[in-house]
Amino acid sequence: MELLQLEYFQVVANLEHMTAAAHNLHVTQSSLSKTIQRLEEDLGVPLFDRSGRRLRLNKFGRAFLSRVNKALFQLEQGRREINDLSCPESGAVELAVTTASTLTQLLQNFRAKRPHIDFHVQMLKTEEMIEPLHRGDFDFCLSSPSVHGEGIECITLGFDSVLVAVPKGHRLGDRSSVSISELKDELFVGLKRGYPTRDLTDRICKSCGFTPKHVYEGDEPARLRSLMDAEIGIFFIPETSTWSISQGEQIKFLRVEELKSVREIGLSWHRGRYLSHAALDFREIVLEYFKGLPKEGNH
């Protein structure tokens, strides 16, 4: 049994289509078919039920895939550990985040401590993180809400408040706080449904008897400020997202009574993934950055 056979089998098993798997692996279909046949001969059982080019994992294939996934995962972690031990000042940290609002400062702090380490960041919704996190594709997921599950470690960094941003000349511009019911007649600009802050604020507003009227819905948080400045509408914003924003003379962030410390923020990682020294340093930077947030039981 060869490592290449296991790697090819994993791809074929996940796609259950020989042509698609061959394309994915950049090999000919005939070469791939022969490799899978040799693996089945070594094992003494068929791993797939075949119907033309379409394949279906049978009971032997499903059982074997579970073992192959674990074996290849461990081999990859071994490769990562050897690379880290041999070249501790090189490599990369893989991240997934639900918002980029705190990312700039975190990466600046990390770059100052680890100037030779690369990083790769993907912005995903929390539900999009779950499968790749279970595969061990990321070092860490920084998300709101947190990602939990079997084989996943998670640190709750704290609970974030959601503020409402208004222009200084707004009728509420001289206030420091507001109740949600006072916003029922306002026009809003915001992110599309599916983003944590949007879904949370929609739910809270509905519980208070109204649905916020959105005149703009997008997926670029940075655009909301310019729309508010143009007096198109006001917007909800996590407090952590305001840490790098100077209020200046044109914008005011108001606390919303019903939205105090309601967004859980967590850092999650796969329990079996090898965390390099650089990744551990990044985790410490994140913990230090968020240590001022209220913890569970204090919000």
**Tell me: the pLDDT tens digits for 129-178?**
999 999 889 999 999 888 998 899 999 998 888 999 999 889 999 999 99
Structure tokens at 112: 């100052």
pLDDT band at 294 (very low <50, low <70, confident <90, very high): low
Question: With 0-12 CB in 10 A as exposed, 13-18 as middle and 19+ as buried, what is 109?
Answer: middle
For residue 234, the 8-state DSSP code is B
Domains of the chain: 3-83 (1.10.10.10), 89-157+266-289 (3.40.190.10), 162-259 (3.40.190.290)
Residues 229 and 109: their CA atoms lie apart, in Å, by 31
pLDDT band at 49 (very low <50, low <70, confident <90, very high): very high
pLDDT of residue 297: 45
pLDDT level of residue 82 (50, 70, 90 thresholds): very high
Virtual CA dihedral for 6, 10, 13, 16, nearest 10 degrees? -110
CA neighbor of 270 nearest in space, from 139, 86, 167: 139
Outline where 123-207 has alpha helix (H): 126-135, 196-207
Banded model confidence at residue 99, pLDDT cuts 50, 70, 90: confident
Judge contact between 109 and 285, C-beta under 8 A. Answer: yes
Q: What is the mean pLDDT of the chain?
A: 89
* CB 140, CB 92: distance < 8 Å: no
Q: What pLDDT shows up at residue 53? A: 65
